[in-house]
Structure 1
């Protein structure tokens, strides 16, 4: 049931398609920035790759949740908007935490080898 808060956001968009688009866009940007840092010797190759993959995933999650929120906004569903934004924020945070755990695991493995 639309409320008075409905905003004309156009036709509802495909969330899954935008997750892919967001991941590709964020990945392209992250890869370019990380490649530049790698070429300058500021970061290692593996760090550049890992960071690019992490930012790609986060970009996909953020874009998908934003599109879902806009779709709910078009219907005047404020709870849907808040839920989509919350899920997006939690998703970006989860990717960050998983990335940190993987980096820590790699550091520990390198110490064991040394």
Structure 2
């Protein structure tokens, strides 16, 4: 294999690093969220949800970094590297959008539950 502009060494296994990134992110975010939940700053459900989200994003970011570095080490791999980087950024952005949409849905459901509860209480007055 011809060397690219940057010598990034032997190409690394992207899937293996995705798994490593997920584990590392789970350890970091899980520990931080456990502390927050224990101090009653967030609920256990919020802690779990945030840990899953950050674990997913960490896996995507790590896989993206390895794939991008692999392509930068190849002759003429700059465009492939930028494509890998863009796909990774899109993946992390997608996780954020999905999280926002789920939060909106849960807030709507909670609001509707409160409205139904209020209406039922009015029936008994």
Q: Same fold (TM over 0.5)?
A: yes
Q: Which moved more, 1:101-110 or 1:50-59?
A: 101-110
1:21-60 to structure 2, matched below 5 A, reads: 21-60=20-59
Shift of 1:6: 2.2
- 1:104 matched residue in structure 2: 104
In the alignment, structure 2 segments of 5+ residues that lack a partner are 115-125
Task: Kindly indicate whether structure 1 or structure 2 has the higher relative contact order, using CA contacts under 8 Å at least 6 residues apart.
Answer: 1
TM-score (norm 2): 0.84
Larger Rg: 2
What are the equivalent positions in structure 2 for 1:76-95 lying under 5 Å apart?
A: 76=75, 77-95=77-95
- 1:95 alignment partner, SS class: helix
Between the aligned partners of 2:22 and 2:102, the Cα distance in structure 1 is 20
Structure 1 residue ranges, 4+ long, deviating more than 3 angstroms after superposition: none
**Which stretches in structure 1 are left out of the alignment for 5+ residues?**
none
How far 1:2 moved relative to its partner?
5.0
What are the superposed Cα offsets for residues 37-56 of structure 1, whole Å, 9 maximum, x if unpaired?
11111111111110000000
Does residue 19 of structure 2 align to residue 20 of structure 1? yes
Give the CA RMSD over aligned residues: 1.5
Q: Deviations over 1:34-74 (max 9, x none)?
A: 11111111111111110000000000000001000000011
